């Protein structure tokens, strides 16, 4: 062989070995984590999950994560309200263990307790939180944080105020875009030699729904479809579903984007905008409209604003995905999109969450991890929000403490569901009467059946066959055909309840609802 050719061959082999060696080293690096998290995003408003808005309001970037990785169809919230769900996600524990039961007068999240960001940080991860926090406490376990502080940490859609590593800072612009800006800014300045975990948490699509300017009139000439249960009369559920302040009758003038008279003082303006919150306060564009037409007008305004805020969320997820690709990070970065619980989009005439009914209980969860999860994976196993923390730790190669109540579903994502995986889940909601007067309740849900006990100032049970009645319109609690099944579910419910350490009596449970723990919405000094 010619000497020059030998030289070229040698250089080629050395280069190949170098690159191969580098690839081997890189493949052993811990994965980066980008956990994108929104507030009150219903699965029915994500096109990957189907639903009546799939064609009209697609979510291509969220769908991309699902298509290139996995979509979970049975991710369920253990307490469907913002702060408690976030606390359970951080700790891998139920509300009665982590101490954060409710939003209203719910106290301050105990940041001294273990959380998965603290564990990742201790393991060498760089950690950051940007966006909505909503736990009243100072975030712990983060190298950097910048979270919403206005309106009781709910945040503002326009010109929001953030706590920027301890300093209040008002920013100019639209919150969803700004939050992404700050997340990318941090990604640009982080230590490139260390793995990172970024919690990117949007305010949207939380009430009151304010779209970005470019999307304000996105569906102005379209009548959005109505859910099949829009006109639910709560037959057989008058004391539970029907005795609430969660119907669209309780939308305010502010929700409906009505402009107050210019002659009003600042105090009068605030009162005018809040009109509609209380029973008997009817908000309508015209006195000539029928009750049915008023309900439809409210729904159309609500759903268009809600979906428009999600449009911006999806756009910004696209920005994040593009950043990862442009910076050669996408192959070794876990990308998750989820929300803190589900949400009612006019189903049963409702907005908001709280109930153990499917619309509020089911959480969206899609995940992309090219190294480990096959594209197009569908997971139908029962997953709960207390499972997120141990799953993230296992994927990061970090040990999971025994005190965590959730279980890692990493193997479920790779098509190897453990034989002993849970067949049912335990749910518990505590807040009453604020907001919306949803009775506290606990229950059990398996792949087919659901049993719920409402207990505060009523004692009512509900039982649903989700296979034959997916919309939960027919309470079968008095069905003789299901007597044995209901009794077995009650036994299983109390076994789960006890197994997770909640042995409180009904009197003790009611006291949780009654107690002012302090926190964001308490008047305690």
| Residue 69 contacts residue 373 (beta carbons within 8 Å) | yes
Farthest-apart Cα atoms in the chain, separation: 96
Instruction: Give the number of other CB atoms < 10 A from CB of residue 506.
Output: 12
Q: Which of 14-23, 274-283, 356-365 has the lowest mean pLDDT?
A: 14-23
pLDDT > 70? residue 5: no
Q: Which are the contacts of 172, defined by CB distance < 8 A and separation ≥ 6?
A: 159
Is the pTM higher than 0.85? The answer reads: yes
- Candidates 479, 473, 434, 440; CA nearest to 458 is 440
pLDDT > 80? residue 70: yes
The span from the CA of 440 to the CA of 102, in Å, is 11
Which CATH class for the 30-214+297-514 domain? alpha beta
Q: Classify 426 as helix, strand or coil.
A: strand
The pLDDT, as a whole number, for residue 144 is: 98
H-helix segments, 103-162: 116-122
- Candidates 309, 352, 349; CA nearest to 218 is 309
User: pLDDT for 208-218, tens place per residue?
Assistant: 999 999 999 99
Q: Which are the contacts of 41, defined by CB distance < 8 A and separation ≥ 6?
A: 205, 310, 313, 339, 342, 343, 364
Sign of the CA dihedral 349, 354, 357, 358?
Answer: positive
User: pLDDT for 138-197, tens place per residue?
Assistant: 999 999 999 999 999 999 999 999 999 999 999 999 999 999 999 999 999 999 999 999
Three-state SS annotation for 342-398: CCCCCHHHECCCCCCCHHHHECCEEEECCCCCCCCEEECCCEEHHHHHHHHHHHHCC
The pLDDT, as a whole number, for residue 523 is: 84
| Residue 114 contacts residue 166 (beta carbons within 8 Å) | no
Q: Which are the contacts of 389, defined by CB distance < 8 A and separation ≥ 6?
A: 89, 90, 91, 92, 115, 116, 400, 404, 406
The span from the CA of 515 to the CA of 524, in Å, is 11
User: pLDDT for 472-511, tens place per residue?
Assistant: 999 999 999 999 999 999 999 999 999 999 999 999 999 9
The span from the CA of 318 to the CA of 137, in Å, is 31
Instruction: Give the number of other CB atoms < 10 A from CB of residue 63.
Output: 19
Q: What is the enclosing helix (H) or strand (E) of 491?
A: helix 483-499
């Amino acid at each position: 062989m010619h000497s020059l050719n030998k030289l070229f061959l040698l250089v080629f082999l050395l280069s190949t070995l170098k690159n191969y060696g580098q690839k081997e080293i890189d493949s052993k690096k811990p994965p980066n984590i980008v956990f994108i998290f929104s507030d009150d995003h219903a699965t029915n408003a994500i096109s990957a999950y189907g639903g009546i808005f799939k064609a009209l309001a697609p979510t291509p970037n969220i769908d991309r994560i699902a298509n290139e990785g996995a979509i979970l169809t049975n991710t369920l919230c253990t307490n469907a309200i913002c702060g408690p769900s976030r606390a359970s996600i951080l700790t891998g524990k139920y509300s009665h263990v982590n101490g954060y039961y409710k939003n209203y007068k719910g106290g301050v999240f105990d940041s001294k307790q273990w959380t998965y960001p603290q564990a990742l940080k201790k393991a060498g991860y760089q950690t950051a939180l940007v966006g909505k926090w909503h736990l009243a406490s100072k975030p712990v376990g983060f190298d950097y944080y910048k979270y919403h502080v206005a309106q009781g940490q709910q945040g503002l859609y326009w010109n929001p105020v953030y706590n920027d590593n301890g300093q209040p800072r008002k920013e100019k612009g639209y919150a969803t875009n700004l939050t992404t800006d700050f997340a990318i800014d941090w990604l640009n300045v982080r230590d490139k030699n260390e793995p990172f975990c970024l919690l990117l948490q949007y305010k949207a699509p939380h009430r009151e729904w304010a779209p970005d300017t470019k999307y304000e009139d996105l569906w102005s000439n379209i009548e959005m479809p109505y859910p099949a249960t829009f006109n639910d009369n709560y037959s057989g559920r008058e004391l539970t579903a029907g005795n609430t302040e969660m119907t669209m009758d309780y939308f305010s003038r502010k929700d409906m984007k009505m402009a107050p008279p210019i002659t009003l003082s600042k105090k009068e303006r605030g009162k005018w905008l809040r009109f509609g919150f209380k029973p008997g306060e009817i908000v309508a564009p015209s006195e000539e409209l029928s009750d049915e037409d008023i309900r439809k007008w409210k729904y159309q305004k609500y759903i268009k604003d809600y979906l428009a805020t999600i449009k911006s969320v999806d756009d910004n997820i696209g920005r994040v995905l593009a950043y990862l690709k442009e910076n050669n990070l996408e192959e070794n970065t876990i990308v998750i999109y989820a929300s803190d619980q589900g949400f009612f989009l006019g189903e049963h005439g409702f907005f908001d969450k709280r109930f153990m009914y499917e619309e509020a209980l089911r959480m969206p969860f899609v995940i992309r991890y090219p190294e480990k999860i096959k594209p197009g994976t569908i997971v139908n196993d029962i997953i709960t929000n207390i499972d997120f923390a141990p799953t993230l730790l296992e994927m990061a190669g970090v040990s999971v403490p025994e005190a965590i109540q959730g279980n890692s579903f990493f193997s479920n994502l790779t098509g190897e569901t453990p034989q002993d995986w849970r067949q049912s889940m335990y749910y518990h909601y505590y807040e009453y009467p604020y907001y919306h007067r949803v009775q506290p309740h606990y229950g059990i849900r398996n792949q087919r059946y659901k049993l719920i006990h409402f207990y505060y100032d009523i004692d009512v049970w509900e039982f649903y066959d989700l296979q034959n009645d997916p919309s939960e319109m027919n309470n079968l609690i008095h069905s003789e055909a299901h007597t044995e099944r209901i009794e077995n579910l009650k036994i299983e419910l109390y076994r789960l309840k006890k197994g997770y350490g909640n042995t409180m009596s009904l009197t003790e449970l009611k006291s949780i609802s009654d107690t002012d723990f302090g926190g964001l919405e308490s008047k305690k000094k």
